[in-house]
Chain A
Amino acid sequence: GQQVMQIPQYQHVQEGEDFTTYCNSSTTLSNIQWYKQRPGGHPVFLIQLVKSGEVKKQKRLTFQFGEAKKNSSLHITATQTTDVGTYFCKDNFNKFYFGSGTKLNVKP
């Protein structure tokens, strides 16, 4: 079946450093969503990407959807301690599969 893999699994950065997580699918995605889950919390919707090559920005977060619509990335510029959490991508076609997640830890 369809799998959505994320790398890296963990990332430890110093506050102020940049961070990127990558999401790769074995099949072409209709669209992709990104979520953030704080420790002990529930996933919070960040954004949805639909178009091939689409790039969207939310303040320090930049989301990209690959040209082939098989991969996506989330880039955080100048991380802050409030960015701590696990970032998941999710296929939003007819099956709502979450990626494996990337856990971000930011050291002050």
Chain B
Amino acid sequence: GAVVSQHPSWVICKSGTSVKIECRSLDFQATTMFWYRQFPKQSLMLMATSNEGSKATYEQGVEKDKFLINHASLTLSTLTVTSAHPEDSSFYICSARATLTDALSGEQYFGPGTRLTVT
């Protein structure tokens, strides 16, 4: 089946620094990728949707300049948390959708997530 990887799986950074999270589709080309954030014991919140080669579409309330998303290729999307603060500590999960068939079936393939802790 389709596999999505994320790197790193966990990261600890100091307040004020930037962190880049990579999301890769390993055995398929992902035309659309999604970035979610999940706080402990809460549901997943969609942050942004990105299509390869175009600017990401951010959800209301998500700061574009703080959460930089790049989808430069059909197998890689990156999320950069700039000037991170403790309140940005969360579980960040990406998902990918591949073909028209997936779009019709609705299936998304999720990465294992990245746990970010900002101290």
Contacts and interface: CB of A to CB of B under 8 A. Distances in A.
Contacts, number: 42
Interface stretch (B62-70, B80-88, B100-108): B100-108
A41 interface: yes
Contacts of A33: 106
Interface string B92-112: 010100000000011111111
Given A95-B46, A98-B44, A101-B43, A48 B113 contact: no
A31 B108 CA distance: 14
A43 B94 CA distance: 10
A48 B106 contact: yes
A20 interface: no
Interface centre among B34, B93, B108, B109 (most CB of A within 10 A): B108
Contacts of A63: none
Interface string B45-66: 1100100000000011000000
A1 B107 contact: no
Interface centre among A31, A42, A88, A100 (most CB of B within 10 A): A42
A88 B93 CA distance: 15
Interface in A29-49: 31, 33, 41-45, 48
Interface of B: 34, 36, 42-46, 49, 59-60, 93, 95, 105-113
